[in-house]
Chains A and B, each alone.
Chain A
């Protein structure tokens, strides 16, 4: 699972360089997220613009990624593609994660609290 991490303005911007987060790569995603975020800033923005599809295993892996970082990091999501957005909305996980329309909105928004 190819994740690219870049720290800007004390924010860790992690780009998912993959077309899918599904059952076949859920565990690799979770492990790669830990490696990319654990030693970085508390604020993490996950750029999802290249991810066309997330199944419930992938969704679970995104939740697991946030849980394994504990309370010390907060993962926000940005640029969900239509099918991914649908999965987040239907499962109401859009109320658990801060979701930004695109990366421009994400990086111009300072995290409250």
Chain B
């Protein structure tokens, strides 16, 4: 069989939402990307985005309960990685993605932001970012460009 019939490489995991499980998932995903020959820069962007998206599920969708199922699947396509993340936790407030805004860091020391960076990083490092509530599940999808085919 030649390559046109070969399915896209797939990384797929289901795990119980906790900080420790997120760490393991991120390490496994990075290992998979390294095996595919991805640049370190792209591996870094993937880890940053996935850490933020999954931390958000652990802390907010499942309210830090340390349990609740999360499904992650990643496929490698010609010039991008496509991501799908599902959970069965609380819906996003307002049934929409948080804004793509950096917190204000222009104030005095005591008012420097200690949070609010996560969704900015996700928006900034992905494209085709979408959120949908499907029944009792949250579905987040996005792509990260790899440009392996068209590197300058």
Give residues in A with beta carbon < 8 Å to B: 20, 22-24, 53, 55-57, 59-61, 63-64, 66-67, 70-71, 82-83, 86-87, 90-93, 95-96
Contact = CB atoms under 8 A, between A and B. Distances in A.
B23 A95 contact: no
A91 B48 contact: no
B13 to A, nearest CB: 18
Contacts, number: 77
A22 B51 contact: yes
A23 B17 CA distance: 13
B115 A60 contact: yes
B44 A56 contact: no
By secondary structure, the A interface counts as helix
State which size class the interface on B falls in. Answer: 20 to 34
Interface of B: 19-20, 22-23, 26, 40-41, 44-45, 47-48, 51-52, 55, 58-59, 102, 105, 109-110, 112-118, 120-121, 124-125
A33 to B, nearest CB: 13
Given A71-B109, A90-B120, 7 more contacts: A53-B51, A56-B116, A64-B114, A83-B48, A90-B124, A91-B117, A91-B120
